[in-house]
C-alpha cells in the first residue's frame, strides 16, 4: 500500500469519533458526510468477468481459465473485468446508486486448492496445484488492480486459508490439516498473492482451521499474514462468517464477543452484521479504540488507493461504452478455445463439414445458458449455446437435429417415465444423422456454493464423480444406435467417463465456457480452432478419493496420488503434434536456474502448446530430520508457458524456475533446501505413465545437482 494513501486515510480517521471509525468496518459502510466520505458497499464480484451487476462480458469459469495454462490471457480477462467494474461504478455513483455489486472492491480471485473433485466450489478455483494456482492468481490480481497511480479495482484473495468443502458443513466444520500440508499446499497461493501481486484484500473462510476460526485466527492472520508476510491491505470475513463463531463454532457466547475476537485478531472488515455489535464490545472493554482506528485506517487506505478521495483518478472517465464490447467478446471466445481440453480423439476430430449432411445435437446442456455461465457470473448479451454454435458453423444445407434427450438430473417429484420422456426422440435424431454430438454435464443448480439456488445434491458438492443417472441412461440409449458420437461435457469439475468412454470417438471437456462457449466448441469440432487446454485437476475414477472431510493431502491430486487416474493433471490433446528436444539447464543455485527446451510443431495445423516443467524434489537419497520420504510429492509443476507455433515452426522456450520450487517441506511445516540431485522434466504433460500412454510421447529429463 502506497504511503500517500495511508496518510490520506489516517488524516480522515483522526477526525472521526470512535463510532464513525467503527462504522467503516462494515461492508455496507455508511456515509460520513461532514468528512466527504460517501456510503460504500464493499461487496462486488469479479471471478470470471464482472458478476451480479447486470450486463458484462462473461469469460469461462475460473477452472476453465486455469486450463488455458496462459498467464497473459488470464491477466487480459481480469483487466476487462476491472474496466467493466469501473464503468459500472462510475455510472452508478453518478446516479447515487451505491448498492452492493456496484463497487470496485472485487472479492476475487478464489485461490483455494481444489483438493477434492466433489467440492462444488472447486469450479471457482484455478485447480489442484499450488504452483499453477499461484501463477494464475498473481496474473489475475495484477489484471484487476492495474499498474496506474491508483488501483483500477481492488482484488481480494479468498478464502484464507484451509478451505475446500464440504459445503454442507462449512459453517461449523473444523478443517484439520498438518503443518506440512498447510505450508506445502494450502497457503502458497495466498503468499504469492501478498508478496508478488500486492493484493489489497484477503478474505477469511467460514470453517475453523485446527480449532481456530479462520476469520479470527491468531496463527493465520496475526502470525502468518501480518507478521511473516507483511500484508498491508484489509482482511475481510466471508459473508456472515463471524456469526458462525458463536452460533456454530461455539468459540464465543454472542455477537459482541465474536466481533471483539475477530477485530483483535486482525479482521478489519465484516461482511455480515456482527460488527454492528462492535460498539457494544468497545463499551464492555473487549476492544480498544486504537484497534478500531487502526482497522479503519486499513480499510480507508484501500478506498484512497482506488481514488475515492481524489479528483485525478485515471479511471474516473471510463463509461458505459467500455462494457460488452466487440473486443471483450473476442477475448471471451479466445479464452473459451484456449481452455477447452480434448480428452480423447480416435481421429473423428476435426470433422470435415463437407462430408457431413446431417448432425444430431442431443443432451440437456445443448441449449442451456446456465452451463455457459458457471457461478459468480455476469449477464451477457451475446450467449452462444452449444446448439447455436453448431447451427452457425455447419455448411448451408446441412441438417441439424436437436433433442434435449433427458433432464439434467433426476427429478424426484416426477416418475422415471417422465424423466426419460425424450429418449425415443433422441434415438430418432441420432439414427437420422451422420454424426451425433452428445452434450452432457452439470450446472450451478447441481454443483456450486451451499445455499445457492438450492443445489440438487450435497449442498453444492457432488456425491460421486459420475454423471447424473438420466444422462447415463441417455448415453446408453444413443450408444446402441451405432452412429459415430462425440461427447461434449460442460462441468466445473472432474467426471468419470470410464463406463462409456469407448462409446465416443472423441471427448471434449468444455467446462463452463462463458458467453462464447458454443462458438468455441463448434469451431473446435470442425477444425476452425485447435484445442490447447490442459487439465488443471486430476480426473479420478469414481470411488478412489478419500473422504471429503479429510484434509490430508495423502492420496489427493497428482502430487500424492497412488492409483492411476482416468485423465492426469496437465493432460490435453491437440490436432497437431509437438516435438521436444535440446533440454538445457543453466545456473548453479535455485535463485538463477533457467530451463530451455526446443519445441517444434511437427503436425499440419497451427496450434498452441502449454510447455510444462516438473521437478522431482526428492529422488530418494536426500534425508533430513523431520522428513518423511513417503509423504513427499511424486513431482511438482515448477514452470509453464503457453506458446503459439505454426505448422513446421520451431521455437526455443526458456523458463526461469522459482527458488522455492527447490524447497522441501518437513512434517512440522519448516521449509528446507536439501543439497543433492534433482530431476527436471519438460514436455506437454507430466511425466507419468498414464499421460505417456494417452499421448504417445515422453517428457525429456535432465538431472540437476544443487
Q: Is the pLDDT of residue 412 over 60?
A: no
**What's the mean per-residue pLDDT of the chain?**
96
Give kind and range of the element (H or E) at residue 342: strand 341-345
Q: Is the pLDDT of residue 614 over 60?
A: yes
- Let me know if residue 553 belongs to a domain: no
Q: Kindly state whether residues 47 and 151 are assigned to the same domain.
A: yes
Q: Is the pLDDT of residue 262 over 90?
A: yes
Question: Please, are residues 163 and 644 in contact by the beta-carbon 8 Å criterion?
Answer: no
- Let me know if residue 286 belongs to a domain: yes
User: Which of 271, 290, 322 finishes a domain?
Assistant: 322
Q: SS3 helix, strand, coil % of the chain, rounded to 5?
A: 35, 20, 45
Which residues are within 8 A (CB) of 344 and not within 5 positions of it... i.e. 6 or more apart? 501, 504, 505, 506, 507, 573
Q: What is the pLDDT of residues 391-401, one digit of tens each?
A: 999 999 999 99
Q: Domain containing 609 — which CATH number?
A: 2.60.40.10
- Let me know if residue 560 belongs to a domain: no
Query: Per-residue confidence at 411, pLDDT binned at 50, 70, 90?
Result: low
Q: Domain containing 424 — which CATH number?
A: 3.40.50.1700
| Predicted pLDDT at 385 | 98
| Predicted pLDDT at 418 | 66
Question: Please, are residues 479 and 501 in contact by the beta-carbon 8 Å criterion?
Answer: no
| Predicted pLDDT at 415 | 58
Q: Is the pLDDT of residue 454 over 70?
A: no
Cis upstream peptide for 523 (omega within 30°): no
Q: Kindly state whether residues 161 and 176 are assigned to the same domain.
A: yes
**According to the 3-state scheme, what is the secondary structure of 398-439?**
CEEEEECCCCCCCCCCCCHHHHCCCHHHHHHHHHCCCEEEEE
Distance between alpha carbon 349 and the CA centroid of its chain, in Å? Answer: 28
What are φ and ψ of residue 26, in 5° steps?
-95, 145
Per-residue b/e over 653-666, b at no fewer than 16 CB within 10 Å?
A: bebebbebbbbbbb
Q: Kindly state whether residues 495 and 462 are assigned to the same domain.
A: yes
Range of the domain at 415: 326-528
Return the half-sphere exposure (C-beta side, CA atoms, 13 A cut-off) of residue 651: 18
Domain count, the chain: 3
* CB count in 10 Å sphere of residue 415: 10
Q: Domain containing 179 — which CATH number?
A: 3.20.20.300
Active site residue 327: no
User: Which of 276, 306, 322 finishes a domain?
Assistant: 322
| Predicted pLDDT at 315 | 98
Q: What is the pLDDT of residues 321-378, one digit of tens each?
A: 999 999 999 999 999 999 999 999 999 999 999 999 999 999 999 999 999 999 999 9
Q: Is the pLDDT of residue 623 over 80?
A: no
Helical spans, DSSP H, in 236-366:
241-247, 255-265, 278-283, 289-305, 326-339
Instruction: Give SS3 for 503.
Output: helix
Q: Kindly state whether residues 262 and 143 are assigned to the same domain.
A: yes
| Predicted pLDDT at 619 | 62
Tell me how far apart the alpha carbons of residues 673 and 589 are, in angstroms, rounded to a whole number.
11
- Mean pLDDT of all residues in 433-447: 96
**How far, CA to CA in Å, does 105 sit from each of 53, 137, 141, 233, 657?**
13, 16, 12, 12, 32
Q: Kindly state whether residues 46 and 65 are assigned to the same domain.
A: yes
- Mean pLDDT of all residues in 402-426: 81
Which is it for strands 40-41 and 28-29: parallel, antiparallel or unpaired? Answer: antiparallel
Question: Please, are residues 398 and 352 in contact by the beta-carbon 8 Å criterion?
Answer: no
Distance between alpha carbon 177 and the CA centroid of its chain, in Å? Answer: 22
Q: What is the pLDDT of residues 115-144, one digit of tens each?
A: 999 999 999 999 999 999 999 999 999 999
| Predicted pLDDT at 16 | 98
Query: Which residue is catalytic, options 75, 84, 447, 616?
Result: 447
Return the half-sphere exposure (C-beta side, CA atoms, 13 A cut-off) of residue 324: 14
Query: Which residue is catalytic, options 70, 212, 238, 244?
Result: 238
Q: Kindly state whether residues 516 and 633 are assigned to the same domain.
A: no
- Let me know if residue 441 belongs to a domain: yes
Query: Per-residue confidence at 4, pLDDT binned at 50, 70, 90?
Result: very high
Q: Is the pLDDT of residue 613 over 90?
A: yes
| Predicted pLDDT at 457 | 65
What are φ and ψ of residue 600, in 5° steps?
-125, 135
Q: Kindly state whether residues 468 and 510 are assigned to the same domain.
A: yes
Query: Per-residue confidence at 420, pLDDT binned at 50, 70, 90?
Result: confident
- Let me know if residue 549 belongs to a domain: no
- Let me know if residue 490 belongs to a domain: yes
Q: What is the pLDDT of residues 175-229, one digit of tens each?
A: 999 999 999 999 999 999 999 999 999 999 999 999 999 999 999 999 999 999 9
pTM for the whole structure: 0.97
- Mean pLDDT of all residues in 517-526: 98
Torsional class of 656: left (φ above 0), alpha (ψ -120 to 50), beta (otherwise): beta
Q: Kindly state whether residues 285 and 230 are assigned to the same domain.
A: yes
Query: Per-residue confidence at 251, pLDDT binned at 50, 70, 90?
Result: very high
Give kind and range of the element (H or E) at residue 138: helix 130-145
Length of the chain measured in residues: 706
Q: Kindly state whether residues 584 and 598 are assigned to the same domain.
A: yes
Q: Among 687, 598, 680, which residue's Cα sits nearest to residue 643? A: 598
Active site residue 238: yes
Lowest average pLDDT, out of 98-102, 641-645, 702-706, goes to 702-706
Q: Kindly state whether residues 279 and 334 are assigned to the same domain.
A: no
Q: Among 548, 545, 356, 561, which residue's Cα sits nearest to residue 459? A: 548
Q: Kindly state whether residues 391 and 289 are assigned to the same domain.
A: no
Q: What is the dihedral of CA 662, 705, 568, 599, to 10 degrees?
A: 110
Which residues are within 8 A (CB) of 351 and not within 5 positions of it... i.e. 6 or more apart? 435, 486, 525, 526, 527
User: Which of 490, 513, 528 finishes a domain?
Assistant: 528
Q: What is the pLDDT of residues 225-244, one digit of tens each?
A: 999 999 999 999 999 999 99
- Let me know if residue 568 belongs to a domain: no
- Let me know if residue 205 belongs to a domain: yes
Q: Is the pLDDT of residue 505 over 90?
A: yes
Q: Kindly state whether residues 126 and 230 are assigned to the same domain.
A: yes
Amino acid at each position: 500500500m502506497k504511503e500517500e494513501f495511508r496518510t490520506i486515510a489516517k488524516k480522515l480517521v483522526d477526525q472521526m469519533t470512535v463510532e464513525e471509525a467503527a462504522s467503516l468496518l462494515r461492508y455496507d459502510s455508511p456515509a460520513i458526510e461532514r468528512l466527504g466520505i460517501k456510503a460504500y458497499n464493499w461487496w462486488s464480484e469479479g471471478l470470471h468477468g464482472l458478476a451480479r451487476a447486470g450486463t458484462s462480458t462473461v469469460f469461462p469459469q475460473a477452472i476453465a481459465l486455469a486450463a488455458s495454462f496462459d498467464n497473459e490471457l488470464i491477466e487480459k480477462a481480469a483487466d476487462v473485468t476491472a474496466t467493466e467494474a469501473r464503468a459500472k461504478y462510475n455510472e452508478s455513483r453518478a446516479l447515487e446508486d451505491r448498492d452492493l455489486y456496484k463497487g470496485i472492491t472485487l472479492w476475487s480471485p478464489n485461490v483455494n486448492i481444489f483438493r477434492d473433485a466433489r467440492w462444488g466450489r472447486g469450479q471457482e478455483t484455478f485447480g489442484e496445484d499450488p504452483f499453477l494456482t499461484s501463477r494464475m492468481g498473481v496474473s489475475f490480481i495484477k489484471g484487476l488492480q492495474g499498474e496506474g497511480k491508483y488501483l483500477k479495482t481492488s482484488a481480494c484473495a479468498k478464502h484464507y486459508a484451509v478451505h475446500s468443502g464440504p459445503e454442507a458443513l462449512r459453517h461449523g466444520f473444523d478443517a484439520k490439516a498438518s503443518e506440512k500440508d498447510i505450508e506445502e499446499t494450502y497457503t502458497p497461493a495466498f503468499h504469492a498473492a501478498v508478496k508478488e501481486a500486492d493484493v489489497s484484500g484477503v478474505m477469511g473462510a467460514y470453517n475453523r482451521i485446527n480449532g481456530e476460526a479462520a476469520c479470527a485466527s491468531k496463527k493465520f492472520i496475526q502470525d502468518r499474514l501480518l507478521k511473516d508476510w507483511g500484508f498491508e491491505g484489509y482482511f475481510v470475513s466471508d459473508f456472515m462468517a463471524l456469526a458462525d463463531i458463536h452460533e456454530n463454532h461455539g468459540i464465543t457466547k454472542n455477537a459482541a464477543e465474536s466481533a471483539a475476537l475477530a477485530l483483535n485478531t486482525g479482521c478489519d472488515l465484516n461482511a455480515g452484521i456482527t460488527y454492528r455489535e462492535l460498539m457494544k464490545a468497545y463499551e464492555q472493554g473487549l476492544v480498544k479504540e486504537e484497534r478500531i482506528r487502526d482497522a479503519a485506517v486499513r480499510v480507508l487506505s484501500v478506498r484512497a488507493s482506488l481514488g475515492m478521495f481524489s479528483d485525478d483518478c485515471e479511471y474516473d472517465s471510463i463509461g458505459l461504452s467500455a462494457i460488452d464490447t466487440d473486443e471483450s467478446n473476442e477475448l471471451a471466445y479466445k479464452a473459451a478455445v484456449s481452455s477447452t481440453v480434448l480428452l480423447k480423439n480416435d481421429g473423428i476430430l476435426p470433422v470435415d463439414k463437407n462430408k457431413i449432411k446431417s448432425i444430431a445435437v442431443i443432451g440437456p446442456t445443448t441449449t442451456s445458458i446456465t452451463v455457459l455461465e458457471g457461478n459468480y457470473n455476469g449477464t451477457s448479451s451475446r450467449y452462444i449455446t452449444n446448439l447455436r454454435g453448431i447451427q452457425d458453423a455447419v455448411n448451408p444445407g446441412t441438417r441439424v437435429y436437436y433433442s434435449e434427450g433427458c433432464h439434467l438430473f433426476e427429478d424426484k417429484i416426477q416418475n422415471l417415465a417422465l424423466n426419460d420422456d425424450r429418449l425415443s426422440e433422441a434415438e430418432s435424431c441420432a439414427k437420422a444423422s451422420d454424426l451425433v454430438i452428445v452434450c452432457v454435464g452439470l450446472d450451478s443448480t447441481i454443483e456450486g456454493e451451499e445455499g445457492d439456488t438450492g443445489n440438487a445434491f450435497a449442498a453444492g458438492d457432488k456425491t460421486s464423480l459420475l454423471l447424473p443417472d438420466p444422462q447415463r441412461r441417455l448415453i446408453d440409449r444413443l450408444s446402441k444406435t451405432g452412429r459415430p458420437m462425440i461427447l461434449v461435457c460442460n462441468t466445473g469439475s472432474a467426471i468419470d467417463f470410464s463406463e462409456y468412454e469407448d462409446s465416443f470417438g472423441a471427448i471434449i471437456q468444455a467446462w463452463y465456457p462463458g458467453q462464447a462457449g458454443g462458438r468455441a466448441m463448434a469451431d473446435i469440432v470442425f477444425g476452425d480452432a485447435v484445442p490447447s487446454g490442459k487439465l488443471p485437476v486430476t480426473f479420478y475414477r469414481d470411488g478412489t478419493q478419500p473422504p471429503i472431510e479429510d484434509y490430508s493431502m495423502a492420496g489427493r491430486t497428482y502430487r500424492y496420488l497412488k492409483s492411476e487416474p482416468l485423465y492426469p493433471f496437465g493432460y490435453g490433446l491437440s490436432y497437431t503434434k509437438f516435438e521436444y528436444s535440446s533440454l538445457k539447464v543453466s545456473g548453479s543455485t535455485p535463485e538463477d536456474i533457467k530451463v530451455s527446451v526446443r519445441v517444434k510443431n511437427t503436425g499440419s495445423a497451427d496450434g498452441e502448446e502449454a510447455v510444462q516443467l516438473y521437478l522431482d524434489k526428492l529422488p530418494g537419497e536426500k534425508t533430513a530430520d523431520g522428513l518423511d520420504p513417503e509423504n513427499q510429492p511424486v513431482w511438482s509443476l515448477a514452470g509453464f508457458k503457453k506458446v503459439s507455433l505454426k505448422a513446421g515452426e520451431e521455437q526455443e522456450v526458456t523458463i526461469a524456475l522459482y527458488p522455492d520450487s527447490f524447497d522441501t517441506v518437513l512434517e512440522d511445516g519448516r521449509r528446507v533446501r536439501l543439497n543433492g540431485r534433482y530431476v527436471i522434466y519438460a514436455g506437454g504433460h507430466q511425466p507419468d505413465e498414464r499421460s505417456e500412454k494417452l499421448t504417445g510421447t515422453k517428457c525429456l529429463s535432465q538431472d540437476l545437482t544443487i
